[in-house]
Structure 1
């Protein structure tokens, strides 16, 4: 069973603050436990042996009540601190996770499953609640309360203290043995959950296609099998948790019983006074309680720990060092001996291209030859495995890419629209006024109302309308470098002719890189790059 996950200390400031506060609260709780045991033992001894009535015991009773209220208040404070720290850590981890995904870029994302990443960013991080609100506070108490209680018992009855010191380590030993099994079972449960989430998301995304080809029922059956596997792994994990709780309770109960038998025999023989015996009997369960609860809380937090392992695998991945040089998008752009590898092939292999400033450069070639990859290189979302991408003589690998992208407008091969109005999607990333939005929409021949509310991923408009909205967004950005990937794909001939009339004005004064298969668009180009052979003048 792990103690504090060092990665949480390394990546989240809130964890360190939380541990310090938990240590202070735990120490205060240990002191109140000793005070409560002393007061309670004294009250019982005075009442039975001293014959004191309630009037004379009013002071000790008030002190005992105050102590109990203090323990309750500390428990409440500990819960509040844990919940607030948990919320802060989850927010910090989620932002680090998303920032890392953005830094790793689209090329890394193509090898990942979106359903698994979504589950990790939502339920996986949320599962850390039990780790922070229960396991970590209990871990701090384990480091404080048993030691304080054992020390007090040593001053009162050394034989009972020895029994406690000898039997206490048995509980962590059993916890370690059970924890190894729990970790493996929880990892299987988490893997099954991620597979279920990924498959379910894929089925939802392609439900229309599955129904058309008669495969929807088969996929429902697959989801049923995955759900049943998730049920079995969850029940197996719960079974381990229940059995481990039984083992820990049994060890703790037998240990307390040993103390009780020892105390009872010596009390009968007159070798131990009643007040000391009561003090020891009250303190003995308190020494074992934090360890018993720690085992229980570990099982509650096991899912979060399993998710944290995968979370940190992403967060701790190496990313290219951030550059600080300023690349000039107005100057000449040169790809020099660039190679970009994919898992199966090389989309770009030893390619050299010159993109003149202030000109329209068309990029043509067969499907899969790396045209979209070339735009990714210019955008800075893809890094070359070999070679350089130079803008104004500055290598983009050493440039400040955030500053570079502020001067780049881009329309991708599969434009993404967000839930909101058409106008909101066109003005994304800008503070353009309504007139400028309408002007950009007119240039891109957007033929839907700007106040039309779209659903997720642009639901509510056709594929061609979606591309024109994305084109208007790129045009509105008014950046000196404009990257367009198939801007007239899925557009009817009449609309294409209208675009051919309006686009030259939008291209004026900009460096434009235009990926297309349409011969008509190539007429707008000053320079054409054939990725399957050397560049040539138009």
Structure 2
């Protein structure tokens, strides 16, 4: 074991300990109930020693000790009730802590936004939110209460044993600290194993998700068997690390049991010798012998649940890594309620971390109504501009003005209340069509849903679905075609009644008929709101009132499709190359 390991014991994040304050005393109640139950063991041993001593040596009848027997039975029942109540309180405290942590983690992820979260693997996040937080349950419900018992119960037993027999007290006092000492030594090794085990689990989860999402690609390229072999290898690595941790835990338990058993044996042997020579009477010897095993019970429990602490250390490390991730700057202002929204980009510049400038001094205005199509080569800055307009990230230079207010100073929630977004691959959640439509308008009536579907040219096929609005769609809309998903997403955006509708290549995956239906709907929506759409197809540009061509982060051309087609520039080049696509 290196000096670094010896210099610092494995420690849990102190913030995790402070989570106990969320439980409104449930965790403290569990500790108190457990301590009382532990102290009752002492009273139980005292009564039992009186009964045995009275019946065997004082020649009392059972009727003479019936009071002690009744008290003994009552203590058995009371201890069982207290243990049950303590465990119930600990579980409730653990449940509240886990729910609060999961809420905080989700809130932090949402506050970081889709751009900041793009660098984290989805399976990693899902495993942390589920398995990672659930791994804290044994720590709070078992280990933390056991820590209190390890102090309260052995000290109470020592306080009774030492006056009765100081020799036994010394034996217990010497043997007792050996168990925590060995647990600390094991902690150095166990922490490293648990960290490796957690990393293996996260990697395996990520690989599983990648395999499921890319199942079609893997099958078509004949690589499914290779992926299965990789998953098998990762699973075996996870198995080996898990078994290594269990092996350390079992060996540690054996060593600790050895010391506890040895201490109890020493107490018994020295009592036997002293009883034979008449140096001690039966009652104190028997009482101490009853209490000696109970002295080690809390310490054994701590050893049994020590792996919960190690698991919590590994899980908490990843949880707090996510919670410590910096949040993007956000404003606190409120966008004044207005009927229409105008947007102006003034010298907007942006570059991703460590990369070249994507937008460079961009100057453009978007009117309150009408459809604007944004074109440009890959890397021209189209998607980045959309992310800036949506408020997912602030510009590195310049500013974006919304009705005269700087977007950087507006609270994202206030801005998002007036904006709707339809990405290239819209996401439908598992559930009814109506539930998906009501994401942006929870109180919308069925009539409003049908009106939105009609606007998005989706009414006919939704009515044909079994159950209509109540029809359940699979995860991601798997039971619908791409064009149908796109039109439901458009209806969902329209139902929100936004002042600005933003679409990112929303027609690229559609067939000609579906694209025409979506463009008809967009043209109708653009009459009363601003519609901004990133497009590659010239048909979209032909239907737009305005075409904006980006080149290397700047506006290269700005005008109507008809005007730009007749002037030299990128748009005319596109028309000449793909003229057959333009109606």
TM-score grouping bracket, smaller chain normalisation? over 0.9
**Count of matched residue positions in the alignment of Structure 1 and Structure 2:** 538
Could you tell me which residue of structure 2 aligns to residue 424 of structure 1?
435
Could you tell me which residue of structure 2 aligns to residue 335 of structure 1?
345
Deviations 1:317-347 (A, max 9, x none): 2324653211357443233444444356347
SS in structure 2 at match of 1:67: helix
Among 339, 353, 363, which residue is 1:353 paired with?
A: 363
User: What value does the CA root-mean-square deviation take over the aligned residues?
Assistant: 2.4
Q: Distance in 2 between matches of 1:243 and 1:151?
A: 32
Could you tell me which residue of structure 2 aligns to residue 265 of structure 1?
273
Quote how far apart the aligned CAs of 1:26 are. 3.0
Compute the TM-score of the two structures, normalised by the length of structure 2: 0.86
SS in structure 2 at match of 1:196: helix
Q: Distance in 1 between matches of 2:20 and 2:410?
A: 29
SS in structure 2 at match of 1:62: helix
Could you tell me which residue of structure 2 aligns to residue 437 of structure 1?
449
Could you tell me which residue of structure 2 aligns to residue 364 of structure 1?
375
- Kept after mapping to 1: 8 A contact 2:31/2:86: no
Q: Distance in 2 between matches of 1:331 and 1:470?
A: 22
Question: Per the alignment, do residues 3 and 352 of structure 1 end up closer, same or farther by CA in structure 2, a change over 3 Å counting?
Answer: closer
Compute the TM-score of the two structures, normalised by the length of structure 1: 0.93
Confirm whether residue 376 of structure 1 aligns to residue 384 of structure 2.
no
Structure 2: which 5+ residue stretches go unaligned? 1-8, 560-583
Could you tell me which residue of structure 1 aligns to residue 550 of structure 2?
531
- Kept after mapping to 2: 8 A contact 1:347/1:368: no
Deviations 1:462-489 (A, max 9, x none): 2232222212221222111211112322
Confirm whether residue 509 of structure 1 aligns to residue 528 of structure 2.
yes
Confirm whether residue 296 of structure 1 aligns to residue 308 of structure 2.
no
Could you tell me which residue of structure 1 aligns to residue 476 of structure 2?
457
Could you tell me which residue of structure 1 aligns to residue 167 of structure 2?
159
Among 483, 487, 499, which residue is 1:468 paired with?
A: 487
Among 497, 509, 515, which residue is 1:478 paired with?
A: 497
SS in structure 1 at match of 2:555: coil
Deviations 1:350-379 (A, max 9, x none): 343333341333322212333222222222
Quote how far apart the aligned CAs of 1:455 are. 0.9
Q: Distance in 2 between matches of 1:189 and 1:346?
A: 39
SS in structure 1 at match of 2:198: helix
Could you tell me which residue of structure 1 aligns to residue 53 of structure 2?
45
Quote how far apart the aligned CAs of 1:129 are. 2.4
Could you tell me which residue of structure 1 aligns to residue 567 of structure 2?
none
Quote how far apart the aligned CAs of 1:536 are. 4.9
Quote how far apart the aligned CAs of 1:495 are. 4.0
Could you tell me which residue of structure 1 aligns to residue 233 of structure 2?
225
Q: Distance in 2 between matches of 1:166 and 1:389?
A: 71
Could you tell me which residue of structure 2 aligns to residue 405 of structure 1?
416
Confirm whether residue 67 of structure 1 aligns to residue 88 of structure 2.
no
Q: Distance in 2 between matches of 1:101 and 1:361?
A: 32
Q: Distance in 1 between matches of 2:308 and 2:15?
A: 20
Structure 1: which 5+ residue stretches go unaligned? none
Confirm whether residue 98 of structure 1 aligns to residue 106 of structure 2.
yes
Q: Distance in 2 between matches of 1:358 and 1:238?
A: 65
